Amino acid sequence: MQEAESYDVLIVGGGPAGLSVAEALDPALRVLVVHQDREIGEPVRTSGCSWVADLEALGIPRHLYHVLNRMEFYSDGEQCGHDLLRHKAAVLDVTGLYRWLAARSEREGRTLLCATKFLTAERAPAGVRAVIRPRGAAERAVFARKIVDASGWHGAVMAALGDVPRPSRIGVGIEYEMPIGNARPDRGVLFLGSSVPAGYGWAFPDAHGRIRIGAGTIHPDSDANPRNLMARFLASDMPARMGLEIGPVLRVNAGTLPSVPYDPRLVFGDVIRTGDAANFATPTVGEGLRIVIEQGRALGRALSACLVAGDPEALARHEAACTRAFRRNYRIGFEANQRLARYGPADFDGTVRRIGAMSEAEAVALIRSEFRASMMAGLGARFLSRRLARLRDGLGLRPRTRSK
């Protein structure tokens, strides 16, 4: 093995999280990003649905996303929809976005090695010694003062150092890109029920006249293969009910993400995790892109404060800020996720009915795993009043009217 090269920060994973860390690191730092795929942004492992307001806040250029004005929800026996008047959704050009992020982190002192895999690491005085292997070449030793695990659900660095085991519960999904046909081009669809047990499906139109139709499930809650789920869905009457035309498959995307309770530990000495390696995607629908970009940049700033400005508390503050941002919402969202994984078709019909009874803001908050106390109280009150109304109907009682 060659003698160790030395960097300030080694980032493992050139997905949106790792690239966002790299982008925000101080230009004075020597940084190496290793990415096991041949190219940035290929293959695509996500369906890229997000929210316009977040993308604007993150400065993502408008040409990298397609706006959705409506979101519809289907189960075996129910359907509902919300016009997105205040909370526009968006479908990202995933490859374009990742390449844009990579270009923003390019500068002197930055090295991005594609087709290069992180193999293992060990703690060393004042840093970490890692072993990487470029495809078809010999292993190389790398020393870094800090190492960032941005390797997604693999949690490759965490697993190599024994800090956090690989996730015991994962979401696995597959998506087919097809011509959009006659489907409405500004409408997203989420579907639940017997065609996607312990998971959900989606149909997201993109800016290029295609629609991404996918299905995901949770292992080991279900042992279903997403390909079989898609086959079952495509052969069912569901696509026609949703106004989807099934055309030739132009491209297949597949991906995995962790589906475990949020664990607030991010900093393990000189090793820090972020993105899916830190379980940042929302527990309700596994939406991660806007979050991993925002938190990746926050970690880049914290690392700069630590390594350049000599602020020893910067990483602890970053960890605490993430705990504040995620812990409560993700606990509630994870409970909902586990409940949904046990649901049968009738339960999903009830879920879709309840989403239909929500306001646009409440439905969006549910998808985003944002459970504000006021929203929970409002939903609880409406749920109780519906239960009371049903009880009254069942007992043949009329609601009391106020006498004048």
Ligand X SMILES: Cc1cc2nc3c(=O)[nH]c(=O)nc-3n(C[C@H](O)[C@H](O)[C@H](O)COP(=O)(O)OP(=O)(O)OC[C@H]3O[C@@H](n4cnc5c(N)ncnc54)[C@H](O)[C@@H]3O)c2cc1C
Binding test (CB under 6 A) with ligand X, winner from 9, 17, 196, 307: 17
Binding test (CB under 6 A) with ligand X, winner from 7, 46, 90, 303: 46
The SS3 of residue 163 is coil
The answer to whether 295 contacts ligand X (rule: CB under 6 A) is no
The answer to whether 257 contacts ligand X (rule: CB under 6 A) is yes
Binding test (CB under 6 A) with ligand X, winner from 7, 11, 16, 210: 16
Site for ligand X (CB under 6 A): how many residues? 38
Cis peptide before 43 (omega within 30 of 0): yes
In angstroms, rounded to a whole number, what is the distance separating the alpha carbons of residues 73 and 75?
Answer: 7
Half-sphere exposure (CA, 13 Å, Cβ side) for 126?
4
User: 91 is written with which tokens?
Assistant: 């479908």
Among 110, 81, 108, smallest CA distance to 18 is for 110
Binding test (CB under 6 A) with ligand X, winner from 154, 187, 210, 318: 154
- Region from 34-42, 258-266, 343-351, 354-362 binding ligand X, contact rule CB under 6 A: 34-42
Site for ligand X in 70-89 (CB under 6 A): none
The answer to whether 167 contacts ligand X (rule: CB under 6 A) is no
Instruction: Write the CB contacts of 64 (distance below 8 Å, at least 6 apart in sequence).
Output: 55, 92, 93, 96, 97, 100
What would the x/- binding string for ligand X be over residues 114 to 143, using CB under 6 A?
---xx-------------------------
Site for ligand X in 199-218 (CB under 6 A): 216
The answer to whether 161 contacts ligand X (rule: CB under 6 A) is no
Whichever of 34 and 272 has its CB closer to ligand X, that residue is 34
Sign of CA dihedral 130, 131, 133, 139: positive
Binding test (CB under 6 A) with ligand X, winner from 72, 206, 276, 349: 276
- Taking a C-beta distance cutoff of 8 angstroms, is the pair 179, 137 a contact? no
> Tokens 């646009």 label which residue?
360
In the complex, the smallest distance separating the C-beta of residue 394 from ligand X, rounded to whole angstroms, is 41
- Region from 68-76, 239-247, 249-257, 392-400 binding ligand X, contact rule CB under 6 A: 249-257
In the complex, the smallest distance separating the C-beta of residue 270 from ligand X, rounded to whole angstroms, is 18
Instruction: Write the CB contacts of 202 (distance below 8 Å, at least 6 apart in sequence).
Output: 47, 49, 175, 188, 189, 190, 191, 212, 213, 214, 215
CB atoms inside a 10 Å sphere around CB 142: 21
Instruction: Write the CB contacts of 25 (distance below 8 Å, at least 6 apart in sequence).
Output: 9, 31, 105, 300, 303, 304
Whichever of 17 and 322 has its CB closer to ligand X, that residue is 17
Binding test (CB under 6 A) with ligand X, winner from 287, 318, 369, 371: 287
In angstroms, rounded to a whole number, what is the distance separating the alpha carbons of residues 14 and 183?
Answer: 34
In angstroms, rounded to a whole number, what is the distance separating the alpha carbons of residues 131 and 121?
Answer: 6
The answer to whether 255 contacts ligand X (rule: CB under 6 A) is yes
The answer to whether 300 contacts ligand X (rule: CB under 6 A) is no
- Region from 150-158, 229-237, 313-321, 362-370 binding ligand X, contact rule CB under 6 A: 150-158
Q: DSSP assignment of 243-273, as one string?
A: T-------EEEEEEEE-S------EETTEEE
- Taking a C-beta distance cutoff of 8 angstroms, is the pair 270, 146 a contact? yes
Whichever of 50 and 351 has its CB closer to ligand X, that residue is 50
Whichever of 262 and 349 has its CB closer to ligand X, that residue is 262
Rg, the chain, Cα only: 23
What are the backbone angles phi and psi of residue 7, rounded to the nearest 5°? -135, 160
What would the x/- binding string for ligand X be over residues 168 to 187, using CB under 6 A?
---x-x--------------
In the complex, the smallest distance separating the C-beta of residue 391 from ligand X, rounded to whole angstroms, is 40
The answer to whether 156 contacts ligand X (rule: CB under 6 A) is yes
Whichever of 220 and 394 has its CB closer to ligand X, that residue is 220
Binding test (CB under 6 A) with ligand X, winner from 5, 26, 30, 37: 37
Residues found near ligand X in the complex (CB under 6 A): 12-13, 15-18, 34-37, 45-50, 117-118, 150-152, 154, 156, 171, 173, 216, 255-257, 275-277, 281, 286-289, 292
